[in-house]
Amino acid sequence: MTDLVTFGETMALFAARRTGPLRFARDFDLGLGGAESNVAIGVARLGAGAAWIGRVGADEFGDLIRATLAGEGVEVHAVTDHEAPTGLMIKGRRTADLVDVRYYRRDSAGSRLSPADLDPALLRSARVLHVSAITPALSPSARAAVRHAVSEARAAGVAVSLDVNYRAALWSPDDAGAWLREIAGEVDVLFATEAEGRLLADGDGPEELAKALAAFGPRHVLVKMGARGALELSDGRVLRAEPYRVTEVDPVGAGDAFAAGWLADWLAGAEPELRLRTACAAGAFAVTSQGDWESLPRRSDLALLGGAADGVSR
């Protein structure tokens, strides 16, 4: 059963093992990452059915992506592109505090996503469609795919979730803002950091910002505030959550984890307070280990955060 369907580009990921300028890194681990597939994994780990649609190259990296996502329990609907390779990410740390990510995704298989890659029956059978604003910045066909998917979803009564996920390397703030303002009216759930929220709206402080964002139409607005926690505006009601205190190992993926936690609990019909805490807990877990998605929690993990302060195992 597919509760959530998502699509986007997933890439092979070379992660440097040592901190410092990337050219001195020497050793790299091969893995994979992609904002939308991270969300799919996160949702699946929390017990909901998740499907991911994407394009991969006819290469080892494409095979790695298929096998890993399927192994994580995500339904994989991947088109194999025989003309273009799977995209790459290279991830290092310039300092212990500064992540350095580079992409080789121009004309990649994943950036060539198009409306034809999306199975309408699959889109219509889900309870929620999740997209990010990375996809529209990849190519015209990818942008059309987002537009098409959102239309299909709305026509079928499927809720639409959007995580802004602004990538400065792909488009300008102005272009991103314009597109976001255009799509925001068709979105039911909107995830954004404060800086991302300001791409499409103004507002003093996170609460005013959330209200300005909600004015575009989303019923649920989630503002992620890093070390200050998160704020949710749902049906006019404001909730705030403190962040969990964990030792950060790798900050990448926290936003995807937050979205996954929120969506999984929304799908499960959890109370808003619990739902927001689950989102924060998932975000906290995501930063506790290397890899963009490897440390996403299961239901049974969520209780561990409380015990973390003791630094004790069973």
Residue ranges in contact with its own copies by CB under 8 A: 14, 16, 18-30, 59-61, 63-64, 66-73, 85, 88, 92-102, 104, 106-107, 168-169, 226, 246-249, 251, 285, 288-291, 294-295, 301, 304, 307-314
Residue 121 or 168: which CB sits closer to its own copies? Answer: 168
Distances 314 to 206, 271, 304, 310 between C-alpha atoms, Å: 39, 30, 11, 11
Residue 274 to residue 252: CA distance in whole angstroms: 24
**157 neighbors 125 (Cβ within 8 angstroms):** no
Active-site residue flag, 202: no
Give the dihedral of Cα atoms 14, 254, 284, 228; nearest 10 deg. Answer: 140
Residue 20 or 272: which CB sits closer to its own copies? Answer: 20
DSSP state of 295: T
**H or E stretch covering 17:** strand 11-19
Residue 25 or 180: which CB sits closer to its own copies? Answer: 25
| Shortest distance (Å) from residue 307 CB to its own copies | 7
95 forms bridges with which residues in the sheet? 98
| Shortest distance (Å) from residue 141 CB to its own copies | 18
Residue 186 or 248: which CB sits closer to its own copies? Answer: 248
| Shortest distance (Å) from residue 32 CB to its own copies | 10
| Shortest distance (Å) from residue 56 CB to its own copies | 11
Residue 260 to residue 133: CA distance in whole angstroms: 16
- Characterize the bridge pairing of strands 230-234 and 220-224: antiparallel
Of the residues 3, 81, 163, 256, which is catalytic? 256
Residue found by looking up tokens 């740390």 in the block: 93
Q: Which residues are catalytic?
A: 256
